[in-house]
Structure 1
């Protein structure tokens, strides 16, 4: 039921309705110069919000609604790691939108804040943020809390990361290995990555029990969740479970490292005395500083894996063996990742074939 009355020089509408608990409520708004304006506004409210409780819901902040949404729809439906990503989005949303209400969010405001976020984040991060927040706002649209989609046709941008070399050449690889202090946790991690091609989570997931010093092998059957700190977890794929052979120099360095550091058999090999395992940003910083000191082109930590694989291929190790050492799910993954190297080696092989055939006619 709608009623109108004049208050001073302005008109007001009053809509009576029942809330979700069956109790009568009143929705009022005044400030209209003409009665016709009040009638039009009330009609619009009733059209857009047949269930008038959603009008009140529009007063909830975007961040508050998002937090409730992830708790109801995501907490028990996704992995703890994925849920942590949703929680990170909530933190970013709080910084960008503050106490802005759902009903006050427009396409312009959304794009403006998204652009602000993009100034200090990579395009991929911005895209993930937008995807998660948009899913929540579409739910608000379905509930008729908002009447239009403020995220529609949003433009995704982001900062361009400086180009970094994919891998080290053989000379720089050797130079790095010879100048690492493998008694230090960070530099020993870097050394292992360079000589095994293991993923970071696999390396920091190693325990003393995974190291067979007599057989010169490392057993990879788990990883460590260094990012979200949930402890040991499964390897990236079932094929990532493998045994990696290492050389005598690596065995010697591991023996020395274990001797220096007091370690229990079931804790990660590279966990410090305070129970902390370096996160990716920390190990990349250590690696970058080391490369700067040695005047070697900068690569990421993952670039050590590419370096290891590239050197093995250039030195004549078969693609199949490299694939198994890296823990790829199939040889096709290795071939596609290192196609440029394989093509270069094939070209060299063609020269060898011609040379062999020509020598047979002499």
Structure 2
């Protein structure tokens, strides 16, 4: 039921309705100069929000609604790691939108804050943030809490990261290995990545039982969630479970490291005494500083994996063996990742083939 009355010089409408619990509520709005304006506004509200409870829902903040949404729809439906990503989006949304109400969110405001987020984040990160937040906002649209989609046709941008080399050449790779202090946790991690090609999560997930110094083998059978700190987790793929052969010098360095840092048999060997394992930003900082000291071009930590694979291929190790050592799910992954190297090596092989054939009659 709707009623109208004049308060001072302005008109007010009052709509009576039942909430979800069957209790009577009243929705009032005043400030209309003419009664016809109040009638038109009340009619619009009733048309856009048939049950009227959604009008009140629009007064909830975007961040509050998003947090409730991920708790209801995502918490028990996705992995803990994925759920942590949704929680990170909530954290960023709070920094960008604060207490902004759902009903006050416009396309302009949304795009302005998305642009602000893009000033300090890569385009891929901005896209993920937008995708998760938009899914929640579309739910509010379906519930008729809002009447338009403020995320429609949003423009995704991002900041450009400084370009870095993907790999080191053989001489720089060797120079790095010879100048690492493997008694230090960070530099030992860098050393292992360079001589095994292991992923970061695989390295920091190693426990003493995974290291067979007698047979010079490292067993990769799990990883460590260094990003969201959920503990041990499965390897990236089933093919990532593998044994990696190491040289005698690496075995010796590992033995010395364990003698210095060993704490517990079921504890990651790269976890310090306070229970902390370096996150990706920390290990990349250690690597960058070391490369600068040695006047070697900067690469990321993951670039050590590419470096290891590239050097093995250039030294004549078969693609199949490199693929197994890296723990790729199939040889096609290795071939596509290192196609440029394989093509270069094929060109060299052609010269060898011609040389062999030319020597037949000699």
TM bucket normalised to smaller: over 0.9
Cα deviation code 1:304-333 (max 9, x no counterpart): 000000000000000000000000000000
1:131 is matched with which residue? 131
1:240 corresponds to 2:245: no
Which segments of 5 or more consecutive residues in structure 2 lack a partner in the other structure?
Answer: none
Structure 1 residue matching 2:232: 3-state secondary structure: strand
- Measure, in 2, the Cα distance between the counterparts of 1:8 and 1:227: 60
Q: Does 1:50 align with 2:50?
A: yes
Secondary structure of 2:323's counterpart equals: helix
Q: Who is 1:67 aligned against?
A: 67
Give 1:182 shift.
Answer: 0.3
Q: Partners of 1:7 and 1:264 in 2: how far apart?
A: 76
What does 1:219-238 align with in structure 2 at a 5 Å threshold?
A: 219-238=219-238
Q: Does the 8 Å CA contact 2:310/2:338 hold for their aligned counterparts?
A: yes
Query: 2:347 aligns to what?
Result: 347
Aligned-partner Cα distance in 2 for 1:214–1:195: 18
TM-score (norm. length: structure 2): 0.99
Residue 260 of structure 2 corresponds to which residue in structure 1?
260
The two structures have a TM-score, normalised by structure 1, of 0.99
1:19 aligns with 2:27: no
1:291 & 1:235 partners in 2: Cα distance? 29
Aligned to 2:147: 147
Partner of 2:359: helix, strand, or coil? helix
Q: Displacement, 1:263?
A: 2.1
| Displacement of 1:235 | 0.4
Q: Take 2:262 and 2:198, find their aligned partners in 1: how far apart are those partners?
A: 24
State how far apart, in whole Å, the 2-side matches of 1:334 and 1:217 are.
Answer: 22
Report Cα offsets for 1:110-156 as digits up to 9, x if no partner: 00000010001110110010000000000000000000000000000
What secondary structure does 1:31 align onto?
Answer: strand
Q: Distance in 2 between matches of 1:262 and 1:344?
A: 44
- Cα deviation for residue 173 of structure 1 reads 0.2
Query: Per the alignment, in what secondary structure is the counterpart of residue 116 of structure 1?
Result: helix
Q: Give the Cα–Cα distance (whole angstroms) in 1 for the partners of residues 334 and 347 of structure 2.
A: 18
CA contact (8 A) 2:262 2:269 kept: no
What's 1:9 paired with? 9
Structure 1: unaligned runs, 5 residues or longer = none
Give secondary structure in 1 for the equivalent of 2:26.
strand
- Deviation per CA, 1:233-264, whole angstroms, max 9, x where unpaired? 11000000000000011011011111111321
Number of matched residues?
362
The match for 1:119 is 119
Structure 1 Cα separation of the partners of residues 7 and 304 of structure 2? 75
Cα deviation 1:200-251 (Å, max 9, x = unaligned): 0000111111111110000000001111111111100000000000001101
After superposition, the C-alpha distances for 1:152-206 in whole angstroms (9 at most, x for unaligned) are: 0000000011111000000000000000000000000000000000000000111
Structure 1 CA distance, aligned partners of 2:169 and 2:72?
51
Name the residue aligned to 1:104. 104
Q: Secondary structure at the match of 1:174?
A: helix
Mapped to 2, the partners of 1:236 and 1:245 lie a distance apart of 20
- Matched residue, 1:280: 280
- In structure 1, what is the equivalent of residue 37 of structure 2? 37
Measure, in 2, the Cα distance between the counterparts of 1:223 and 1:14.
61
- Deviation per residue, 1:264-318 (Å, 9 max, x gap): 1110010101011101000000000000000000000000000000000000000
Q: Is residue 2:275 matched to residue 1:292?
A: no
Mapped to 1, the partners of 2:263 and 2:179 lie a distance apart of: 25
What does residue 269 of structure 2 align with?
A: 269
- Could you tell me how far 1:5 is from its partner in structure 2? 1.1
